[in-house]
């Protein structure tokens, strides 16, 4: 599987339930990379999306400990799959593979937040990381992939040119597990 994340200089990803910054170019990139795919997200991330609804054009697996949780549907009517543990998610992915031909390596993207990234990062072979060239006051973080690269477990395989929006510069990068 893969993951996709936007991080600040200190690998911060969010504050008080929201993203650190609004960058339309990154939202467009996220859309391009995730349309038609299966997203794995935590309940808090789902509720932080516009209208608290899953994104259209994608299947969403949402993780919650609440056995009574009833998420909203996406605008295109797609119902998210609710899972209550990592094992539950693995069962759901196996069902999608067997019944709908989903390729778990190519078609499944972990999209946050912190708890879900932590849970699945060891299974991600590819990490799509947008790196903002600024520090924010974050209360949620992603693993420091530069430290993991120095330790030899991942490597940076690509980075885009620099982009700028609203006075904020950022790059798209891709890391792979070694
Ligand atoms: N920068 C980015 O790319 C990016 C991407 C996504 C999110 N974010 C940010 O990340 C923050 C949210 O991250 P977060 O870590 O607070 O929340 P989260 O990972 O989105 O969701 C946490 C929730 O997931 C459920 N959960 C987690 N582990 C579980 C387990 N082992 N078993 C069952 N349920 C489990 C729990 O739901 P219940 O409480 O319902 O039990 C928990 O409260 C927000 O600020 C968001 O904007 C940033």
Residue 129's pLDDT band, with cuts at 50, 70 and 90, is: very high
* pTM score above 0.75: yes
d(CA 141, ligand 1 centre) in Å? 11
Residue 134's pLDDT band, with cuts at 50, 70 and 90, is: very high
Residue 174's pLDDT band, with cuts at 50, 70 and 90, is: very high
Domain ranges for the chain: 2-177
The reply to whether ligand 1 has any atom less than 6 angstroms from the CB of 131 is no
| CA 30 – CA 7 distance, rounded (Å) | 13
Homologous superfamily (CATH) for 2-177 = Dihydrofolate Reductase, subunit A (3.40.430.10)
d(CA 165, ligand 1 centre) in Å? 27
| CA 133 – CA 162 distance, rounded (Å) | 10
Three-state secondary-structure class, residue 144: coil
Tell me, rounded to whole angstroms, the distance of Cα 178 from its chain centroid. Answer: 20
């Amino acid at each position: 599987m893969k993951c996709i994340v936007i991080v600040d200089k200190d690998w911060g990803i969010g504050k008080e339930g929201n993203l650190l910054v609004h960058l339309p170019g990154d939202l467009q990139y996220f859309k391009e990379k995730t349309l038609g795919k299966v997203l794995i997200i935590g309940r808090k991330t789902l509720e932080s999306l516009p209208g608290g609804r899953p994104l259209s054009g994608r299947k969403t697996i949402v993780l919650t400990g609440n056995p009574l949780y009833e998420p909203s549907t996406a605008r295109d009517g797609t119902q998210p799959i609710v899972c209550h543990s990592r094992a539950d998610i693995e069962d759901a992915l196996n069902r999608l593979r067997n019944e709908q031909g989903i390729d778990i390596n190519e078609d499944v993207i972990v999209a946050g937040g912190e708890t879900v990234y932590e849970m699945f990062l060891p299974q991600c072979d590819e990490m799509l990381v947008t790196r903002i060239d600024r520090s924010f006051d974050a209360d949620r973080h992603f693993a420091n992939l530069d430290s993991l690269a120095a330790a030899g477990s991942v490597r940076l395989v690509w980075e885009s040119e620099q982009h700028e929006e609203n006075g904020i510069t950022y790059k798209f990068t891709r890391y792979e597990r070694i």
